[in-house]
């Protein structure tokens, strides 16, 4: 058997650990051959491949990013995209695909399997941790660690100048990074996409902290919205092939609002792609490696149309379509729980 591997969507720490796990076990225990497709779904559409064997995956465990490259290519928005994939899988004698990605990448895998019979196994990857069928996605723990360290560092400069520091983190639809890093970093306000925020309330929390002679830190997810406003966009026109607009700027907008309403100096730090880069945490290496080992087991069993998922401490298989049908968002009760630290 020959197995194709691809990584799609935004890169994140841990992708290489999955590739390594798939190739090592598949080669050593099952005698499979492997081929890597470059840049997500672009690879199988254009027939752009790289060889994958044990020497190719040595030393990649601690590396961030992906040795296969990634993109947001959507075969269903590409002319003859699906036909090209099927033709190239036949050309390279690929019997099964392991697709590593988030909601969009796995959504494509689900459709290819259900509508066209392409044998796919999915591996959940997103720093946003918003796939509903798994307790955690790899990449999330690393992103939270990076954001928490940044917040820790910003506390000291905020206190030195007695100014407000607004930290914008990733999170288009789900506020998991903001919630976890904000709580771990001792933020005084945490704003997430699931709960529209009141700017006046934010300013009241900020003012109360200054009364206690303390410089506040506000953590805001990029997709957070004020009650009387909308998303802050980097570019209101351009969208990627999955229809997503580019978000950026809610942190800067909020800092200006806080400064004008409270009279306190406010500055913004946008962490952006810093959260995606660098070496994966120990937990993400552990989780990504286990996902890879179980993904190749699913291929061996012919259990296609499934995604490997973490449930408690066990790796299980769930339908890819189920995993991508609904996003996992922050429960209002959980958000209310951490509200005791606001202000």
Q: Please tell me whether 320 is known to bind a ligand.
A: no
Active site residue 128: yes
Q: Please tell me whether 265 is known to bind a ligand.
A: no
Q: Please tell me whether 58 is known to bind a ligand.
A: no
Q: Please tell me whether 155 is known to bind a ligand.
A: no
Range 62-65, long-range pairs (CB < 8 A, 24+ positions): 62/279, 62/280, 62/285, 63/16, 63/279, 64/11, 64/12, 64/13, 64/16, 64/276, 64/277, 64/278, 64/279, 64/280, 65/11, 65/13, 65/15, 65/16, 65/277
Q: Could you give phi then psi for residue 40, rounded to 5 degrees?
A: 65, -140
Q: Which residue out of 104, 128, 130, 141 is catalytically annotated?
A: 128
**DSSP output for 252-272:** HHHHHHHHHHH---EEEEE-G
Integer-rounded Cα radius of gyration of the chain: 21
Q: Please tell me whether 222 is known to bind a ligand.
A: yes
Q: Please tell me whether 163 is known to bind a ligand.
A: yes
Q: Please tell me whether 128 is known to bind a ligand.
A: yes
Q: Please tell me whether 139 is known to bind a ligand.
A: no
Q: Please tell me whether 126 is known to bind a ligand.
A: yes
**Packed helices 282-301 and 15-28: angle between N→C axes, nearest 10 degrees:** 40
Q: Please tell me whether 209 is known to bind a ligand.
A: no
Q: Please tell me whether 67 is known to bind a ligand.
A: no
- Give dist(CA 231, CA 223) in Å, integer: 6
Q: Please tell me whether 275 is known to bind a ligand.
A: yes
Q: Please tell me whether 103 is known to bind a ligand.
A: yes
**Packed helices 176-184 and 140-161: angle between N→C axes, nearest 10 degrees:** 50
In the sheet where 266-270 sits, what is the strand order? 189-191, 217-221, 164-169, 266-270
Contact, 25 vs 115, CB < 8 A? no
Write out the binding residues.
Answer: 10, 103, 126-128, 163, 170-172, 222, 267, 273-276
Active-site residue set: 128
Write out the binding residues for diphosphate.
Answer: 10
Write out the binding residues for substrate.
Answer: 126-128, 163, 170-172, 222, 267, 273-276
Write out the binding residues for Mg(2+).
Answer: 103
């Amino acid at each position: 058997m020959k197995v194709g591997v691809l990584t799609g969507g935004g890169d994140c720490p841990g992708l290489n650990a999955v590739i390594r796990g798939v190739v090592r076990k598949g080669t050593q225990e099952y005698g499979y051959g492997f081929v890597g497709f470059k840049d997500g779904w672009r690879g199988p559409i254009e027939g752009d491949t790289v060889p994958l064997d044990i020497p190719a995956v040595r030393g990649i465990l601690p590396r961030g990013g992906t040795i296969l490259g990634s993109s947001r290519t959507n075969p269903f928005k590409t002319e003859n995209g699906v036909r090209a994939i099927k033709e190239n899988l036949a050309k390279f004698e690929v019997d099964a695909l392991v697709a590593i990605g988030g909601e969009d990448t796995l959504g494509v895998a689900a459709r290819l399997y259900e509508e066209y019979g392409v044998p796919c196994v999915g591996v959940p990857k997103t720093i946003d941790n918003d796939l509903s069928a798994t307790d955690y996605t790899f990449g999330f723990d690393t992103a939270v660690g990076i954001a928490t360290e940044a917040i820790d560092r910003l506390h000291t400069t905020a206190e030195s100048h007695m100014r407000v520091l607004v930290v914008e983190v990733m999170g288009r639809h789900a506020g998991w990074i903001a919630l976890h890093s904000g709580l771990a970093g001792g933020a005084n306000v945490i704003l997430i996409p699931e709960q529209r925020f009141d700017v006046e309330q934010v300013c009241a929390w900020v003012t109360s902290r200054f009364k206690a002679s303390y410089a506040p830190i506000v953590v805001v997810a990029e997709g957070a919205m004020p009650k009387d406003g909308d998303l802050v966009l980097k570019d209101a026109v351009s969208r990627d092939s999955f229809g997503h607009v580019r978000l950026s700027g809610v942190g800067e907008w909020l800092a200006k609002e806080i400064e004008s309403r409270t009279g306190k100096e406010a500055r913004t730090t946008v962490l952006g792609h810093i959260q995606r880069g660098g070496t994966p945490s120990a937990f993400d290496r552990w989780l990504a490696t286990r996902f890879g080992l179980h993904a190749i087991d699913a291929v061996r069993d012919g259990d296609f149309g499934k995604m490997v998922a973490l449930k408690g401490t066990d790796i299980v298989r769930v339908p890819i379509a189920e995993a991508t049908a609904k996003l996992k968002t922050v429960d209002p009760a959980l958000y209310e729980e951490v509200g005791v630290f606001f202000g």
